[in-house]
Amino acid sequence: MRLAAIRPFARYLAAYIPETEVPPAGLLPGPVSRRAVPYLYSREEITALTDAAGAIRSRLRAATYRTVIGLLAVTGMRAGEAIRLDRSDADLQAGLLTIRESKFGKSRQLPLHASSVSALAGYAALRDQHHPRPAAPAFFISLTGTRLIYKNVHYTFHRLTQAAGIAPRSPRCRPRIHDLRHSFAVATLLSWYQDGGDVAARLPLLSAWLGHADPGTTYWYLTGTPELLALAGQRLEDHLRERP
């Protein structure tokens, strides 16, 4: 475990001091990391997922999953947070979602784009048409008017990935609903690099948006995609070129 902790630092140091010895992996037996590799969805894959959800036979169920997937994709909120949303948490007039008492007891508000507000309003109208007096105050409801069940949402999402033709990239990189959150974080960072902004200064904003206590937690979501690494590398080259 100590070697595993020092190995990344040794790799970093070796870039500046070539004679640095990097402890090889597998030198001693130790715990094996079981962290799943995030599946980063493209825009086309997200569209395929919402199209697959729209093909569900029940009109209400199709609208529910189509809207849930779209909301997770454009906000990066946790699936559990979407399930726990009550009607009173969605202020569609102001375009605000209030996420109450989420992980670590943190609450936050997310301003929504006009297109997201329109999608939520359309779903709410259909939902009220089917269940004018639902069994729960939940914003997203089941066919019986109750709040969605977390396990069922995961199962349905898995079926939708199959219907959309989204296959695992490796045994450790399988499409999960939580990976919509990873995809949002990486896409946000990518857009900041592309517009030339100060990414380090903006990172606390992303942390607050995702409901993290500090940017250190957010780094868990920032997978190094080829596009992201290329932009970061180009920025470093530009910086070094400007130095005397």
**What are φ and ψ of residue 83, in 5° steps?**
-65, -35
Give me the catalytic one of 133, 221, 235, 241.
221
Q: Give the C-alpha separation, 213 to 196, whole Å.
A: 26
- For this structure, is 100 an active site residue? no
Strands (E), 27-151: 90-91, 96-99, 108-111
- For this structure, is 57 an active site residue? no
Q: Give the C-alpha separation, 40 to 178, whole Å.
A: 10
Residues 6+ apart with CB under 8 A from 70: 46, 50, 116, 119
- For this structure, is 133 an active site residue? no
Residue keyed to tokens 């199959």: 162
- From residue 14, how far is each of 10, 193, 230 by CA, in Å? 6, 27, 21
CB-based contact 156:41 (threshold 8 Å): no
- For this structure, is 178 an active site residue? yes
Q: Any idea where the domains of the chain sit in the sequence?
A: 1-33, 43-163, 179-242
- pLDDT (tens, 9 = 90+) of the chain, 244 residues, equals 788 888 889 988 998 899 999 988 878 776 665 678 889 999 999 999 999 999 999 999 999 999 999 999 999 999 999 999 999 999 999 999 999 988 777 899 999 999 999 999 999 999 999 999 999 999 999 999 999 999 999 999 999 999 999 999 998 899 999 999 999 998 998 888 888 778 888 888 999 999 987 777 777 777 656 676 676 677 677 767 777 7
According to the CATH classification, is domain 43-163 in 1.10.443.10? yes
